[in-house]
Amino acid sequence: MVPSQFVTYEVAKKLFDLNVISRATFLSFKKEFAKVMKGLRKEATTTVDWDAVRDMFDFDDYADGVPINAANLCPSFHAVQEHVNQLGIDMNKDVSIQKRTSVFATIIDDARALIAQQLNISTAELAFMRNATEANNIINNGLDFNAGEEVVIWSENHGSNNRAWAIRQQRNPNIKIITVDLTGATTDQEVINRFVAQVKPGVTRVVTFSEISNESGLRIPSKDLCSEVHAVDPNVHVHVDGAQGWGVLEHDLQDMGCDSYAASAHKWFLGPKEAGILYMKAARITNFWPNNFGYDAKIILPEELYTDARRFETLGQRNDPTLMGLLYTAEILGTIRFTEIDQRIQFLVQKLIDGLLAMGYTLTTPTDPARRHGVVVVHFDNPDEGVALYNWLYKEHRIGVASTGGLRICPHIYNTEHHIDRLLAAIQEYNSLPAGDKSSKKTATRKK
């Protein structure tokens, strides 16, 4: 028995009633969905069974490998991936416009409503993108600039945010790009001050930064920064790249006060690949031109640009089952509860950091929990050492991390305490190897 209050179930039932998915697909989904939700549906005071959550993912710890690199790419929940795959197979049996319109229009409205509710924004302010890169580039390409106007960026923004602005400047050489370097800023107020010092009323058009750096793990005090930038000039558009935060933090974008927010589903959200979101404050939407103009969700070419967030998602034909994956994933994460997810990741990160510090490593990532989240970066004076260890961990122990910034390790809810112990033991093993047995003969930088 599946309780009717679950949106994903209601959408699947509608798809079955519309003859979009087969009876076998619906019954298979219903059985699996009931099992998933029964395991997760708990009272607010009940502790999550993290071993049960781990079992919701397909990878085997030894036959496949352990992913500890959520900042790059995450596995999807097995139940979600299986249903998305089956929905695609069923759609292949009838690709008529009637069915595609029914599928897209049915799923997109419910997915938009649930995710908007989780972000505390209106549905009119949420557009579904193909990833955060596409959303960032809507901000980059969407404004008309006057000569001499400025854009303030953070030096650690993702390339889809920073390098894209450099390319935009090639088209409009009169735009001035101001880069904020936060090296040496040890408090949130110092971070805010460095940004605000670059904001010039009537001159600065955009301030854009990553919510959490994928290079250092530094977490920006987004709410206070948005507030202080707007205090200098309320017309400045503050855009936040939330690729490292969406799916693991309890978000209230209204409270954050940003003007737009971008994120990908394939990272911490644990969702389908080639999916993402763009939030745009309602009052700002018509300031921006879309990157694309094509069919909307109902496979209709609008006669005029929309004045709500749909303005940015007339992308033409899309992979309709992906929207079901977004909806299903959002419901699972919401059922686990974002506060629980946040605390779990902080717990695993603290265990990881304690182990790394005990071995004498220097971290680029702040050790203060208030100034970081899930991204942990180990510093190496010689970057080649980070690359060597990164490759050795995968080759010898099937542990997937990244060499970004040195050695980047990002645990998620599919990780266990055993995974962290196994990683730390593997690093300790690597350190004990004779220099000739490593890819590089030089050793990592150690804390004195």
Q: How far, rounded to the nearest angstrom, does the alpha carbon of residue 260 sit from its chain's CA centroid?
A: 15
Res 39: pLDDT: 79
Residue 241 has pLDDT above 80, yes or no: yes
- Give the bridge partners for 361, in sequence order: 446
Res 2: pLDDT: 52
Residue 225 has pLDDT above 50, yes or no: yes
Residue 448 has pLDDT above 60, yes or no: no
Q: How far is CA 52 from CA 48, 64, 270, 415, 426, in A?
A: 8, 19, 16, 11, 25
Task: Give the tens place of pLDDT for each residue, 324-363.
Answer: 999 999 999 999 999 999 999 999 999 999 999 999 999 9
Q: Which residue has the tokens 């009717």?
A: 4
Task: Give the tens place of pLDDT for each residue, 115-127.
Answer: 999 999 999 999 9
User: What string of H, E and C letters represents the secondary structure of the chain?
Assistant: CCCCCCHHHHHHHHHHHCCCCCHHHHHHHHHHHHHHHHHHCCCCCCCCCHHHHHCCCCCCCCCCCEECECCCCCCCCHHHHHHHHHHHHHHHCCCCHHHHHHHHHHHHHHHHHHHHHHHCCCHHHEEEECCHHHHHHHHHHHCCCCCCCEEEEECCCCHHHHHHHHHHHHHCCCCEEEEECCCCCCCHHHHHHHHHCCCCCCCEEEEEEECECCCCCCECCHHHHHHHHHHHCCCCEEEEECCCCCCCCCCCHHHHCCCEEEEECCCCCCCCCCCEEEEECHHHHHHCCCCCCCCCCCCCCCCCCCCCHHHHCCCCCCCCHHHHHHHHHHHHHHHHCHHHHHHHHHHHHHHHHHHHHHCCECECCCCCHHHCCCCEEECCCCHHHHHHHHHHHHHHHCEECECCCCEEEECCCCCCHHHHHHHHHHHHHHHHCCHHHCCCCCCCCECC
Least confident segment among 67-81, 280-294, 296-310, 390-404: 296-310
- What average pLDDT does this structure show over 66-91? 95
CB 252 within 8 A of CB 119: yes
**Tokens in use for 28?**
């298979």
The fraction of the chain above a pLDDT of 90, given in percent, is 83
Task: Give the tens place of pLDDT for each residue, 211-223.
Answer: 999 999 999 999 9
Residue 100 has pLDDT above 80, yes or no: no
Residue 240 has pLDDT above 70, yes or no: yes
- What average pLDDT does this structure show over 187-210? 98
CB 244 within 8 A of CB 397: no
Task: Give the tens place of pLDDT for each residue, 41-64.
Answer: 655 556 889 999 999 999 999 999
Residue 1's pLDDT band (cuts 50, 70, 90): very low
CB 260 within 8 A of CB 206: no
Task: Give the tens place of pLDDT for each residue, 247-273.
Answer: 999 999 999 999 999 999 999 999 999
Task: Give the tens place of pLDDT for each residue, 288-332.
Answer: 999 999 988 778 899 999 999 999 999 888 888 999 999 999 999
Q: Which residues contact 92 (CB under 8 A, 6 or more apart)?
A: none
- What average pLDDT does this structure show over 66-87? 96
Q: Residue 293, Cβ neighbours under 10 Å: how many?
A: 14
Res 41: pLDDT: 64
Average pLDDT across the chain, whole number: 92
Print burial letters for 38-56: b (CB count within 10 Å at least 16), e (below 16). Answer: eebeeeeeeebebeebbeb
Residue 96's pLDDT band (cuts 50, 70, 90): confident
HSE at residue 106, side-chain half, CA atoms within 13 A, is 24
CB 141 within 8 A of CB 289: yes
Res 110: pLDDT: 93
CA distance 392 to 360: 19
